[in-house]
Amino acid sequence: MVLLKQLVALDILLYVGVGKMYEQLSLFPPLYEPEVDDYVIWEKQTWCGISTDKGWVYFKGDPVEPKKGFPNQARYITIETAVYDKPAEQLRDSPLHKKTHTLLLCYEQDWKDLKFVRKRESKHCCHYSQYDDVNVD
């Protein structure tokens, strides 16, 4: 007869039996909190099926305390899904901004659907391939 002892502590289950110990992780892992320079994948249900967007977290809003008489402000991040060069005619008027960034808005209630892939190694991009999601597995 195998002695099976179940120990529940700190949301971790340990099973002991026949000289072996097994560990079962929690059914509810901690929620992911996105940070700027994280590469994320966002899979969401839409009217035409599952939609997938990938990109770098470009901005993360700070939590805002609710104020009496004002509407509550939702917390969000923006995900940079594409970067491309501006046409030459647009650069004449604004030479400081040479690229166009496509950003996707993701509210805090949707952060549960984000999957973390990796963190950007450097804040300064050295090569164009660091902007797109082609090289991500």
Over 50: is that where the pLDDT of 112 sits? yes
Instruction: Point out which residues pair with 59 in neighbouring strands.
Output: 78
Q: What are phi and psi of 5, to 5 degrees?
A: -115, 130
What pTM was computed for the model?
0.64
Rounded CA separation 117/42 (Å): 11
Q: How many Å apart are CA 64 and CA 79, to the nearest integer?
A: 20
Same domain for 23 and 42, yes or no, is: no
Spatial neighbors of 61 by CB under 8 A, at least 6 apart, are: 75, 76, 77
If asked whether residues 70 and 101 sit together in one domain, one would say yes
13 with 6: CB under 8 angstroms?
Answer: yes
Are 42 and 3 part of one and the same domain?
A: no
Instruction: Give the pLDDT confidence score for residue 21 in this predicted structure.
Output: 56
Domain hosting 22: range is 1-27
Q: What is the pLDDT of residues 26-82, one digit of tens each?
A: 555 567 899 999 999 999 888 999 999 999 999 999 988 989 999 888 899 999 999
- Average the pLDDT over 1-27 and give the result: 43
Does 2 have pLDDT greater than 50?
no
Percent of the chain topping pLDDT 70: 66
- Judge whether 8 lies within some domain: yes
Q: Does 47 lie in the same domain as 23? A: no
18 and 42 in a single domain? The answer is no
Number of domains in the chain: 2
Residues 60 and 113 in one domain: yes
The answer to whether position 127 is within a domain reads no
- Find out whether 76 and 2 touch, Cβ atoms under 8 Å: no
105/60 Cα distance (integer angstroms): 10
Nearest to 44 by CA among 107, 102, 103: 107
